[in-house]
Structure 1
Amino acid sequence: MTFTPAPPNHGIKFQRIDLPDQPVVDADVDYVVDLSRGTTIEHNGARVNTVEHTLAALVGLEIDNVLIKIDGPEPPILDGSSKMFIEALEKVGVQQQNALRNFLEVTESIMYRDPERDVEIAALPLDDFRVTVMVDYNSPVLGSQHASLTDIQDFKKDIASSRTFCFLHELEMLYKNNLIRGGDLNNAIVVVDRVVKDEELDYLAGLFNKPKVEVKKEGILNNVELRHRNEPARHKLLDVVGDLALVGRPIKAQILAARPGHAANVAFAKKLKKAMMANKSSAPYYDPNVEPVMDINQITQILPHRYPFLLIDKIFHLDETTVAGIKNVTVNEPFFTGHFPGNPVMPGVLQIEAMAQIGGILVLNTVPDPENYTPYFLGIDKCKFRKMVIPGDTIKFKCELTAPIKRGIAQMNGYAYVGNTLVCEASMTARIVKNQ
């Protein structure tokens, strides 16, 4: 299995290089086809089994774009955790890309419950990603356990090394159903929660081609040392992180999971994706402490607009398909002297003009000498004003191309936000013309 770099907005994809035409399958919850002791995805004739440990490692390192080339149906089990994936990825390093991370931001509580399995999972609004998992196996060895991840930066040291586990009574069934043929007694924790006779241990030793199988006093088969006191709960958290990666975006939410499993994780991921698609356009993340892509001086070198009609202050993101920038609205704007001076409100037409200027930056970015071109807008459609903009607001604008630019003509959707609230949106068509 080889991790290869991918461009912005590529996402996480697997490629079966051992199959004809080397088909690619997106790491997408809509492509989950099997949940027998792991999460299996399939698309375009490509099937990849047990993807959750690999995906968890990518989430833990905050890797959004990667093509994983694999010459078989399943990532290697390694030691049953995400630890070795983390180590391999860190060895080659991670590159920052000039693109906004497209977060799924949970703005209201999303709940999932499976009464038959007594499973409950919830996502609560939070400007961060945190996960808490509680498990209870009614076992004298495991008992009740919980694990928490409060900072994704801690995934590597606190969660990644936690190995998969199963109970002794599951082993033979799994082996006979061809589910753990790539595994080994030493890359999984086998919990022994009953008295085991010597002849049964000898049978297991023969089944797995081992000279001897032993039971430790704490109920762990074959002398495997636990890496954490609550390693099973931590591995369940690892599985939650990996399965939720199938939503397709990094998540901002507090995830609470009671007795989760792959089936529940995937069902919950589908619920999250449904909510994400219902609110497809989300506010871009803006950090004023980060150096902008373009400041006002750079903007004036490209756009022909000047006071009082230059209506953007900063570009904080720019790639091939998306641009984002801000407009700081102050009471000193010239239009406030005549536009409801006793109750100042930014005119909607100027919001659209500012959005158009942001879009102009995106279109001009497609030519090597943008200072020699002028953007002209040909049409505005589906324009809606959703909330008043007043002095003191900072408007975050985002424009996205909806089709490739042809003959200098671009089609895009524009959005304006104050905080995370959508205040204005429109579809726009623009053309760039070379100056005479």
Structure 2
Amino acid sequence: MDAEKQKTLKGSFSLYGKGLHTGLNLTVTFNPAPENTGYQIQRIDLDGQPVIKALAEKVTETQRGTVITSGEVRIGTIEHGMAALYAMGIDNCLIQVNGPEFPILDGSSIMYVDKINEVGTVEQNAPKDYYIIRRKIEFKDDKTGSCITILPDEQFSITAMCSFQSKFINSQFATLDNIDNFAREIAPARTFVFVRDIVPLLEANLIKGGDLDNAIVIYEREVTQESLDKLADILKVPRMNAKKIGYIQHKPLMWENECTRHKLLDIIGDMALIGKPIKGRIIATRPGHTVNNKFARLMRKEIRKHEVQAPIYDPTEIPIMDNNRIRELLPHRYPMQLVDKVIAIGPTSIVGVKNVTANEPFFQGHFPQEPVMPGVLMVEAMSQCGGLLVLNQVEEPERWSTYFLAIDDVKFRQKVIPGDTLLFRVELLHPVRHGISSMKGYMFVGDNVVAEATFTAQIIKNR
């Protein structure tokens, strides 16, 4: 049951190119980073080399790209690099860039993916902190018709559905059922732009670095030859026949739905700013950076509400340890045996269950008119679960017992009453040494943490 570990890069790599919006020559370097630091982006061209943590609430602009800001410092066009990090399972990375945006490269994520594969990744000590979707979460924008929904799933998956309001390219959808297929199915998909949008974007001081090598250009509404020639001259690209409707780029489409695959890529890049890897299925209708960011912010709020998630519990599954096995490991008997079964166990963690009934003897005096489980017994129940974790690893466990040495950081968040089903999650904080174990325990009712504590115990052979 031990959790998957966090990852970072095994070494550093750099990529070079012009910025899509600034037209500047830029270098971006991806570096290994310590565990639990997430994604951080550093402007090495500025005094003090300021660092911005790449999180959804740092996003200040979403027109034709995602821009994060801290004070006067801004970094844009980050979504393709973020998508590659997230999809390749990298949790911690320090990114250094010598200008206000990442280079656009070929308009996709594939160069980032290739470099990540080239330098490799390394497993770190800290567990990978997934946020597991337990219920439907949705954000709708009634003005645009955009909607992003996330549903429970055993892994991260995503479907994007786009409507481009164009006779030439109308409705498309793209699906990524397994994140392991990102490099092959999504990463090479390039960004795109409609000819009708180019002039407004140039007037907004954007896409100064756009060309036919880093974007798919869609010419789907005929304009005069003079207008098209003038635009081609501004972009410094060859003139073309104004009568010829279609895609304009040096490299042909890789897929008929490449534009929607790129939209899916952008969603992943924007979801990387949630701050945790997700297990859930995203369904996005008419996505874009603006709605993506609003949804990512909603997810950030949801995660803060459930900072520590309850284990998944299916009462129909056969337990890892039943009551009889627990009695073989623990010396406790009625009325002090406070763990009914164990549903998951590994070398450093365990999940146990107790069903609290109205017949518990402590309810007779605590309190007759308002039955509440005593806090000291809640801590005792967590420690018994921890004792099962440790004693399960020794020979002749019946000859050993665990005893408290210290109890710290105890918090009670909600009372426990008859009818509650308690879930315990206990993790070793350090390897057991000289018979001493230090553990962190959580107790849940449903999705809510009702108690937590850190405790140290000693394993002693019985007389």
What TM-score range do you get, normalising by the shorter chain? Answer: 0.7 to 0.9
Answer yes or no: is 1:325 the counterpart of 2:355: no
Per the alignment, do residues 183 and 36 of structure 1 end up closer, same or farther by CA in structure 2, a change over 3 Å counting? same
1:14 aligns with 2:41: yes
Confirm or deny: 8 A CA contact 2:39 2:92 kept in the other structure: yes
Q: 1:386 to 1:253 in 2, by over 3 A?
A: farther
Q: CA deviation at 1:98?
A: 2.4
Structure 2 match to 1:308: 331
Deviations 1:363-400 (A, max 9, x none): xxxxxxxxxxx952257342656488999x98432588
Partners of 1:100 and 1:317 in 2: CA distance: 13
CA distance in 1 between counterparts of 2:127 and 2:419 reads: 24
CA–CA distance in structure 2, aligned partners of residues 279 and 413 of structure 1: 17
Give the TM-score normalised by structure 1.
0.74
RMSD of Structure 2 on Structure 1 (CA): 4.0
SS of corresponding position for 1:161: coil
Q: Percent identity?
A: 38
- SS of residue paired to 1:220: strand
Spell out the pairing of 1:14-33 with structure 2 (5 A cutoff).
14-33=41-60
Q: Which residue of structure 2 lines up, in the alignment, with residue 382 of structure 1?
A: 412
Q: Secondary structure at the match of 1:145?
A: strand
Q: Deviations over 1:248-288 (max 9, x none)?
A: 111122211111111111111111111111122113689xx
**Counterpart residue type for residue 245 of structure 1:** A
2:61 matched to 1:34?
Answer: yes
Matching residue within 120, 136, 148 for 2:175: 148
Query: Structure 2 matches for 1:111-130, cutoff 5 A?
Result: 111-130=138-157
* Distance of 1:285 and 1:62 partners within structure 2: 22
Deviation at 1:208, TM superposition (A): 1.9
Q: Does the CA-based 8 Å contact 1:40-1:49 persist in structure 2?
A: yes
Q: 1:86: Cα distance to partner?
A: 0.6
- The alpha carbon displacement at 1:183 in A equals 2.4
Determine the C-alpha separation between the residues in 1 that align with 2:242 and 2:385: 66
Structure 1 unaligned segments of length 5 or more: list them: 287-305, 319-323, 331-335, 341-345, 361-373, 402-410
CA contact (8 A) 1:214 1:221 kept: no
Partner of 2:133 in structure 1?
Answer: 106
Residues 383 and 165 (structure 1 numbering): CA distance in 2 closer, same or farther, change over 3 Å? closer
For 2:215, the aligned partner's letter is A
Aligned position for 1:261? 288
| Contact 1:128 1:252 (8 Å CA) reproduced | yes
Q: How big is each residue's C-alpha offset from its partner over 1:74-112, in whole Å with a ceiling of 9 and x where there is no partner?
A: 111011111111111111011122222212222221121
User: What is the TM-score with the length of structure 2 in the denominator?
Assistant: 0.70
Instruction: Please tell me whether residue 56 in structure 1 is matched to residue 83 in structure 2.
Output: yes
List per-residue Cα deviations over 1:42-80 (Å, max 9, x = no partner). 125431101111111111101111111111111110111
Q: Deviations over 1:311-343 (max 9, x none)?
A: 99997487xxxxx4345889xxxxx99999xxx
User: Could you say what secondary structure the match of 2:180 adopts?
Assistant: helix
What does 1:387-426 align with in structure 2 at a 5 Å threshold?
395-398=424-427, 414-416=441-443, 421=447, 424-426=450-452
* Contact kept in structure 2, 1:385 and 1:424, CA below 8 Å: yes
1:234, CA displacement in angstroms?
Answer: 0.7
**Alpha-carbon distance between aligned partners in 2 of 1:204 and 1:86, rounded to the nearest angstrom:** 33
Structure 2 CA distance for partners of 1:281 and 1:329, relative to 1, 3 Å: closer
Partner residue in 1 for 2:213: 186
- The 3 A distance-change label for structure 1 pair 432 and 5 is farther
Which residue does the alignment assign to 2:101? 74
For 1:242 and 1:232, locate their aligned partners in 2 and report how far apart those are by CA, in whole Å. Answer: 15
Q: How many residues are paired up?
A: 379
Secondary structure of 1:4's aligned partner = strand
Give the direction of change, closer, same or farther, for the CA distance of 1:394–1:106 in structure 2 (3 Å limit).
Answer: closer
Q: 1:164 aligns with which of 191, 194, 197?
A: 191
Q: Quick check: 217-226 or 374-383, which moved more? A: 374-383
Q: Distance in 1 between matches of 2:351 and 2:361?
A: 23
Change (3 A) 1:308 1:77: same
- The match for 2:300 is 273
Quote how far apart the aligned CAs of 1:125 are: 2.0
Unpaired segments ≥5 residues, structure 2:
1-27, 314-328, 364-372, 388-403, 431-437, 459-463
The change in CA–CA distance for 1:400 and 1:9 in structure 2 (over 3 A counts) is farther
Query: Take 1:379 and 1:18, find their aligned partners in 2: how far apart are those partners?
Result: 44
The one-letter code sitting in structure 2 at the alignment partner of 1:173 is P
Q: Structure 2 matches for 1:204-223, cutoff 5 A?
A: 204-213=231-240, 219-223=246-250
- Alpha-carbon contact 2:224-2:242 (below 8 Å) kept: no
1:356 Cα deviation from its structure 2 partner: 4.7
2:350 is paired with a residue whose SS is strand
Query: Does residue 122 of structure 2 align to residue 133 of structure 1?
Result: no
Cα 1:195–1:111, aligned 2, differ >3 Å: closer, same or farther?
Answer: same
Distance 1:339 1:221, change over 3 A: same
AA partner of residue 102 (structure 1): D
2 CA distance for matches of 1:216 and 1:225?
Answer: 19
